[in-house]
Structure formats: C-alpha cells, structure tokens
Amino acid sequence: MKILGIDPGLGRCGFGLIETGSATKALDYGVVTTTVDAPLPSRLLELYDSLKEVFDECKPEMVAVEKLFFAKNITTGIAVAEARGIVLLVAEQKGLPVYEYTPNEIKKSLTGYGAATKTQIEEMVRVHLGLEKKPKPDDAADALAVAITCSFLYKMGQGNKYEFSNNRRKK
C-alpha cells in the first residue's frame, strides 16, 4: 500500500511517500515551497497546483496528514491551517481516504514516547525506512513520520479517518 504523508505548511509543505509490505520503504519525499513575498491567495494557488502534481506523480492509496494541534504564534497557526485545507481539498478531489494524527500520536507511535525530540523522530524515521541518512529537509522527515504512523495504526485498525458519505467526508 502506498501512503502519502503530509506535514502541512504554507511556506514549506513536506511530503513523504512510503510503501508498506514485507518492509516499509520510502519511495519519494521532499517539500513544496511557495513564493514568500506573494499575496496569500497566490501562495495558496501555488500550493494547490504543486500538491496536485505531487499526488499525480506519487499515486497514493491513502493520505496521512499532521493534525494542527496548537500554535504558539497565531499567525503561523492560521497559515498552517489554510495549507492543511489545501491538502484536504486535493485529497478529496482525488477521492483518497485521509487519516490525521496529532504530533503527540506521531511521536508516540515512532518512539513510544509522546514528548520525543525532533532528532529522535528523524532517527526513528531513518531506522524504520532503512535509510543511510536522516531524510532532509525536516519537513520531509516529518511527512515520512506521519506516513509511518498511518501505516502502523492502519494495520492495528486505528487511525482518525475522515469517511466518505454521499461525496462528503464526516468525522
């Protein structure tokens, strides 16, 4: 099964595609960036167009998205929420099931500890995917972590999924 993990962001939106089976492996990962000094509507359109390309190239069977838990900076939190909306829109247009996870759920599933550091998460992503080096940039590593979490919890029958219902999703 191919799972596309997304770490939403307006300036940098991380993505990571994994394939599960006898072993979990990374197929692709990276970031989508938007033009920093462009007006917000233009940046959202830029993100939308880029994510459509990522989805078309990756051909995932499901999407895992980091849930916005809280933000220290409300302006940053709003931008991330807007980017997350674009991710959900593209997934809906592609007819893909979406699973969402809080940062705490991701940390706990990868390390067994809900307060794990970014360095610990990156190392566990490297180990789980059998990579020689930690994936870079950080946003891509975070997206891979979301996809791995989805893989673990999906196999266990858990996972905060949005369901299709008459072409609308409901929680």
DSSP calls for 94-140: TT--EEEE-HHHHHHHHHS-TT--HHHHHHHHHHHHT-SS--SSHHH
Instruction: Report pLDDT for 167.
Output: 43
* Percent of the chain with pLDDT strictly greater than 90: 77
The domain ranges of the chain are 2-170
Q: Quick one: CATH architecture of 2-170? A: 2-Layer Sandwich (3.30)
pLDDT band at residue 85, thresholds of 50, 70 and 90?
very high
More confident residue, 167 or 117: 117
Please give the model's pTM, rounded to 2 decimal places. 0.89
SS3 state at 31:
strand
Handedness of CA 102, 69, 171, 147 (dihedral sign): negative
What is the longest distance spanned by two Cα atoms in the chain?
Answer: 46
Residues carrying an active site annotation: 7, 66, 139
103-111 vs 138-155: helix crossing angle, rounded to 10: 70
